[in-house]
Structure formats: C-alpha cells, structure tokens
C-alpha cells in the first residue's frame, strides 16, 4: 500500500478505496445520509400516514362518488361555458366588485399602519427583547384565528356591515404584516443602524433614515401580497358572513338562486379582477424594488 | 450643495410622501365606497373586547362539548393534511412538465402554467359553492374545493422552486447524458425536496384556516360547528371552538418551524 509521508504529519494513504464509503454488498455509496435528509423523509412519511388514515376514517355519508364527479363536470361546463346574468346587472356586479375591492383596501391600509408601528416594537435589532417576544406571541395568537371568525365575532359587537368586515379583516392583516415587516427590518444592515447610533441619532431618525429606506421595497412587496389576500378574504367574508360585495353576490347566485350561469358570470368578473390586481402588483413591485 | 448631493434625500422624501398620499387617497375613496364609519370602527374594538371578556369564555356546558369539538377539529386537520399531500403530489408532477429547466416541451410547459394560473385565481369559495351542487354537504365538498386552490398555488411555487434550486444540477446531469427520469430522481427531487416540504407545511397551516371558512359555507367540519354554536348564540361553546383552532394552528406552526430548522 503506497503512503504519502510528510515530516511532522501522520502518513496519508494514497489508496482511493480507503476513502470510499461502501454498502454491504460492496457498491460505492453515492449519497451520504444526513440529519436533514432523514428529517425530510420522516416528515413525508408521517404526512402520508396521516393522509391514508384520514381517507380511511372520513365520514363519506355513502355518497355516490361516480355520479357526483360526473355532475361536477357537467356543472363546470355550464359554469364556465354559459355565463349569463339573470338576477343582477353588469353595473351592479361592478359596484359590488368595487365594494369588495374597497373592503380589502381599507383592511390593508389599516393593517399596514398598525403593522408599521408594531413591527418597530418587535424587530430584534430595534426593540427590547422582552417586549418583542410578548408582541410576537400575541401576534401569533391573532394570526392563528381564521379571518372569518374575527369577522363573525365583530359582527356581534358592531353589527352586520362594513365596520365588522373591515375590522375583522384588519386584525389578521395587521398580525400578518407585523411578522412580515419585522422580518424585513431584521434584514437591515446592522452597520447602518450602528453608524447612525454612533452619531447620536435618536430612534426616529434611525427609523426614517436607515430602517425604512432599506426595507421599503420588501415592505411594499408584502403589502401588495396582503392586498391580494385581503381581496379574496373580502370575497369570502362577503359570502360567509353576509358582509356585502361581490362575494355576497357569488353566494346568492350559488346557494340562494341555484343559478350556475350567474355564478359563472360573476366568477369570470372576479378572476379578471384578481389577475388584474396581480399584474398591477407586479408592475409596482418592479418599480419600487 | 449641488443637485446630485441632495437628490438622494429629496428622492427619499418624495417617495415617502407619495406612499403616504397614496395610502390616504385609497383610504378616503374606499371609506366613501363602503360607507365605512371610522369612529364606529375604532369604537367597535373595545366594545368587542368587552363583549368577548363577558360572553366569549368557555363555561361548564362548553367543556362538556369538548369531545365533539375535538372530533371535528381532528377531521378538519386530517382533511387539510390529506388535501395538501394529494395536491402536492399532483402539483409536483405538473411542475416537472411546467418548469423551463427540464425542457419537456415548450407548449406543454405553457399549458401547464396557464392551467395552474386558472386554478390559483378562481377563489376557493367558488369551488365550494359549485361543489355543493353535486356533492352536497359532504366532507368531499371541502376536500375538492381546497384541493383545486392548493393545487394551483403549489404548482406555481414548485415550478419557481425547481427553476431556482435545480437549474445548475439539471444542467450538470444533462451534460452526462442523463435522460428525463434520472434527472428527476437524482437531480430535481433531492435538491428541491427541503423547499417543497417547507411549502407543504405552510399550505397545511393555511388550509386549516381556509377549511374553517369553507366549513362555514358548506356546513362541514369545525367551521360548521362554530357557525352552529354562533347562530344558536351559545357563545361560550363557540369560544371553545376558537381556542381549540388556535391551539392547533399554533402547534402546527411550531412543529413546522422545528422541521424547517432541521431540513433547510
């Protein structure tokens, strides 16, 4: 066996087989097992197990699956193939769309303002660690409650209408944006903050001259993402909590009039609006970023 | 001072002012459209907090309903997991066809991306209302409604992940003459799996919240349970439902974060 010997070091073998990891049958191993890799496998295995267990235990109420699927396909064909308005006018639908859009916008504006202040109080590089932890756990709690439940809770307190919808949507938006903004602020270069602090700058000059300028593009991107989410949430809230807007029209067309064609027409309007929002958001993000 | 030196600060001030004015304008227009009462909005928060402190606390009767609530909660959680796993399986297959890196066929790729965009942009409540016609108030209504939305979302993110993470290793494998299947199993799958698992965990968490909403609409799962107690004005039982959802979602978030720490 050949060996390389360097004075002062232990001898190094030149035989390549000494460095190869092999399986029991003598094949060269091409993949090394790692902690991350086995964690991935374990996670997938558990999720698959839960899925199988779920399918076995669900209460299907003796549904005729073949018939239901066939019906669904014919319904989809009517829905997307023959859209027609019967119970509402195009102008009415546009007005309702504008209402939903405004509900989403109000919740986003309120959420962004609250989140801007909240994130300054809980970003690791600006805030006191105890205060940051308290705010972060409180925010995690608010985020864990589904939006629709917030809206229903506020409906009792404020009555049915735009106030309950906006405040309910705002809760979740603010909690979401506080987390997102705080993460963007934590990305800010520590050097810039330190340099300003060394000059004797106070809290607000640091925020306005170092923190906000360098995280503004991230924040805008998050805010627009949230606006898109808020738009679909406003739809859902309109349908499930009767908060008005085009979501309510969707629900009326489907579950009250049982009119697939009307449902289809309104769906087309909604999808067009969502795609338009996405395009505008991408344009604005490209400009700011 | 010359224009160049001041321009950074002037620009900064201008962009802050623009953002501020834009937000104000949007607020005023939206408030006018929806007839939103700002004062009532601010008043409603302490009012709701007071109301919650008084009525929204589980009492003995609510605790006696806990087994029922937990059964529904387990069902909803299992639906979310099952939906996400099935949708992720389909989405992974479609994202292989949709990504630009595997170069399957540009037309197939474009079609896949359009299909994904379609499923992503049709709101899940439309699917729920549509499926109510054919499936009725069944667990499968919520399952398929969530499935379509999740499938659209995951196909896009998987395509982005594969484009981003696997591009270089696919090129390397291709240079060795590897065909499609070895590229997938030796290149794409190992390199993008941690990202994919992370997205799946995120979607499970999101789907539990969406499942609650769809449950309210389709009268299944934990959402229907909340709606039932809420409409009966049995607010203490409703509060127990909310608390159990919060515990579940926070637990899933914590487990996901732990898993992400290990795998990423």
pLDDT surpasses 50 at B224: yes
| A192 & A241 share domain | yes
Domain assignment present for residue A8? The answer is no
Specify whether B48 is located in the same domain as B105: no
Asked if the structure places residue A44 within a domain, the reply is: yes
Show contacts of A70-74: CB within 8 Å, 24+ apart.
Answer: A71/B133, A71/B134, A72/B130, A72/B131, A72/B133, A72/B134, A72/B135, A72/B144
Does residue A165 sit within a domain?
Answer: yes
What the block records as the tokens of B147 is 């499935």
Residue A3 counted as domain residue: no
Q: Do A63 and B133 touch (CB under 8 A)?
A: no
Contacts 24+ apart (CB under 8 A), A131-136: A135/A178, A136/A179, A136/A182
Using an 8 Å CB-CB cutoff, list chain A residues near B125: 235-236, 239-240, 247, 250-251
Rounded Cα distance between B139 and B89, Å, is 21
Residue B232 and residue B179 in one domain: yes
Domain tally for chain A?
2
Least CB–CB distance from A149: residue in B204, B235, B242: B242
The residue behind tokens 């108030």 is B137
Domain boundary (A53, A78, A103) is at A78
Tell me the chain B residues in contact with residue A51 when contact means C-beta distances shorter than 8 Å.
78, 81-82, 85-86
- Residue A162: CATH number of its domain: 1.10.3720.10
Instruction: Please identify, among A46, A78, A110, the residue that sits at the C-terminal boundary of a domain.
Output: A78
The answer to whether residues A278 and A136 belong to one domain is yes
Does residue A143 share a domain with residue A118? yes
Up-side HSE of residue A65: CA atoms within 13 Å toward CB? 4
Q: From the CA of B158, how many Å to the nearest CA of chain A?
A: 16
Domain residues for the domain of B28 are 3-55
Helix (H, G, I), strand (E, B) or coil at B219: coil
> Looking at A22, A44, A78, which one is the last position of a domain?
A78
Residues B75 and B203 in one domain: yes
From the list A54, A72, A161, which residue is nearest B78 (CB)? A54
> Do B112 and B211 sit in the same domain of this protein?
yes
In chain B, how many domains are there?
Answer: 2
Taking only the tens place, the pLDDT of each residue in B110-151 is: 899 899 988 988 888 899 989 988 888 888 999 999 999 999
A69/A208 same-domain check: no
**Which of chain B's residues have a Cβ under 8 Å away from the Cβ of A149?**
212, 226, 242, 245
CA dist., res. B179 & res. B173, Å (int): 8
Q: Say if the Cβ atoms of A98 and B33 lie within 8 Å.
A: yes
Domain match, B127 and B192 both: yes
The answer to the question of residue A234 being in a domain is yes
The answer to whether residues B127 and B224 belong to one domain is yes
Nearest CA in chain A to B195: A40
pLDDT digits (tens, 9 = 90+) for A187-210: 888 888 888 889 988 888 888 888
Same domain, A72 and A169: no
Residue A252 lies in a domain: yes
- Final residue before a domain boundary, out of B39, B55, B71: B55
Interchain pair A163, B246: CB under 8 A:
no
Q: Which residues pair with A22 in a beta bridge?
A: A28
Report CA-CA distances (Å) from A43 to A40, A110, A194, B196, B258.
Answer: 5, 38, 41, 11, 11
Same domain, A102 and A150: yes
Q: How far apart are CA B108 and CA B212, in angstroms?
A: 35
Identify the domain containing residue A67 by its residue range: 35-78
CA distance B138 to chain A (A): 7
The predicted structure's pLDDT at residue A46: 94
Residues B89 and B217 in one domain: yes
B3 band by pLDDT with thresholds 50, 70 and 90: low
Spatial CA neighbour of B129 closest among A257, A153, A95? A257
Please indicate whether, in this complex, the C-beta atoms of A250 and B125 are within 8 angstroms of each other: yes
pLDDT surpasses 50 at B40: yes
Residue A161 sits in the same domain as residue A73: no
Let me know whether B147 and B179 are in one domain: yes
Residue B1: the pLDDT is 46
Q: Is B169 on the interface with A (CB under 8 A)?
A: no
A282 & A183 share domain:
yes
Q: Which residues pair with A3 in a beta bridge?
A: A13
Please state the three-class secondary structure of A137-156 as a single string: HHHHHHHHCCHHHHHHHHHH
Mean pLDDT score, B63-76:
91
Residue A1 lies in a domain: no
Residues B74 and B37 in one domain: no
Same domain, A152 and A242: yes
Do residues B130 and A72 make contact, with C-beta atoms less than 8 angstroms apart?
yes
Do residue B28 and residue B71 come from a single domain?
A: no
**Are B122 and A59 inside 8 Å of each other by CB?**
no
Whether A29 is covered by a domain: the verdict is no
The parts of chain A modelled with pLDDT lower than 50 are: none
Does residue A73 sit in the same domain as residue A91? Answer: no
* Helix/strand/coil for A13: strand
Q: What is the pLDDT of residue B94?
A: 92
- Asked if residue B156 and residue B65 are part of one domain, the reply reads yes
Q: Is B218 exposed, middle or buried (0-12, 13-18, 19+ CB in 10 A)?
A: buried
Q: What are phi and psi of A127, to 5 degrees?
A: -100, 165
Q: Using CA atoms, how far apart are residues B134 and A258, in angstroms rounded to an integer?
A: 12
Q: Is B124 helix (H, G, I), strand (E, B) or coil?
A: helix
Are A61 and A97 within one domain?
A: no
Contact B83, B144 (CB under 8 A): no
Residue B140 shares a structural domain with residue B45: no
| Inter-chain CB proximity A102 and B29 less than 8 Å | yes
Measured CA distances, B20 to A109, A217, A233, A284, B13 (Å) = 10, 15, 24, 15, 10
Residues 30-49 of B with CB under 8 A from A: 30-31, 33-37, 40-41, 43-45, 47-48
- Answer whether A14's CB lies under 8 Å from A7's CB: no
Q: Are residues A102 and A243 in the same domain?
A: yes
For residue B34, the chain A residue with the least C-alpha distance is: A99
């Amino acid at each position: 066996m050949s060996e390389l010997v360097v004075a002062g070091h232990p001898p190094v073998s030149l035989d390549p087989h000494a460095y190869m990891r092999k399986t029991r049958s003598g094949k060269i191993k091409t993949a090394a097992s790692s902690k991350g890799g086995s964690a991935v496998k374990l996670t997938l295995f558990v999720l698959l197990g839960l899925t199988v267990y779920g399918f076995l235990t669900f209460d299907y109420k003796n549904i005729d699956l073949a018939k239901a699927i066939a019906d669904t396909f014919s319904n989809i064909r009517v829905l997307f193939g023959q859209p027609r308005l019967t119970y509402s006018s195009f102008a009415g639908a546009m007005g309702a769309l504008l209402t939903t859009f405004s509900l989403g916008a109000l919740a986003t504006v309120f959420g962004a303002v609250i989140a801007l202040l909240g994130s300054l109080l809980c970003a690791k590089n600006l805030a006191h660690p105890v205060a940051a932890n308290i705010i972060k756990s409180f925010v995690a709690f608010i985020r864990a409650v589904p939006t629709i439940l917030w809206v229903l809770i506020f409906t009792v307190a404020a009555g049915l209408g735009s106030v309950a919808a906006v405040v309910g949507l705002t809760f979740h938006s603010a909690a979401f944006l506080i987390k997102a903004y705080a993460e963007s602020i934590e990305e800010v270069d520590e050097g810039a903050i330190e340099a300003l602090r060394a000059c004797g700058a106070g809290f607000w000059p640091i925020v306005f001259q170092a923190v906000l300028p360098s995280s503004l593009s991230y924040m805008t991107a998050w805010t627009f993402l949230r606006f898109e989410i808020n738009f679909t949430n406003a739809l859902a809230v309109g349908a499930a909590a009767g908060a008005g807007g085009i979501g309510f029209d969707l629900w009326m067309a489907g579950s009250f009039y049982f009119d697939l064609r009307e449902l289809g027409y309104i769906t087309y309007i909604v999808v067009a609006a969502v795609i338009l929002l996405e395009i505008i958001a991408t344009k604005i993000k490209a400009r700011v970023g | 001072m010359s224009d160049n030196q001041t321009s950074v600060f002037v620009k900064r001030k201008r962009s802050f002012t623009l953002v501020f004015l834009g937000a104000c304008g949007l607020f005023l227009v939206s408030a006018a459209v929806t007839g939103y009462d700002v004062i009532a909005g601010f008043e409603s928060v302490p009012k709701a907090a007071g109301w919650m402190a008084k009525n929204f606390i589980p009492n003995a009767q609510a605790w006696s309903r806990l087994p029922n609530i937990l059964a529904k909660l387990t069902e909803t959680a299992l639906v979310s997991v099952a939906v996400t796993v099935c949708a992720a399986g389909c989405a992974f297959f479609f994202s292989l066809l949709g990504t630009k890196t595997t170069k399957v066929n540009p037309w197939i790729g474009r079609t896949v991306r359009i299909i994904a965009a379609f499923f992503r942009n049709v709101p899940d409540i439309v699917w729920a209302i549509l499926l109510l016609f054919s499936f009725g108030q069944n667990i499968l209504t919520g399952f398929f409604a969530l499935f379509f939305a999740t499938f659209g979302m995951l196909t896009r993110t998987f395509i982005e992940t594969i484009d981003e993470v696997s591009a270089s290793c696919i090129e390397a494998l291709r240079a060795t003459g590897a065909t499609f299947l070895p590229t997938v199993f030796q290149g794409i799958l190992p390199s993008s799996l941690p990202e994919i698992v992370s997205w799946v965990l995120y979607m499970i968490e999101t789907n539990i919240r969406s499942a609650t909403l769809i449950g309210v609409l389709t009268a299944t799962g934990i959402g229907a349970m909340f709606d039932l107690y809420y409409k009966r004005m049995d607010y203490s039982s409703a509060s127990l439902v909310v608390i159990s959802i919060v515990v579940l979602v926070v637990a899933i978030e914590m487990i996901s974060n732990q898993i992400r720490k290990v795998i990423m």
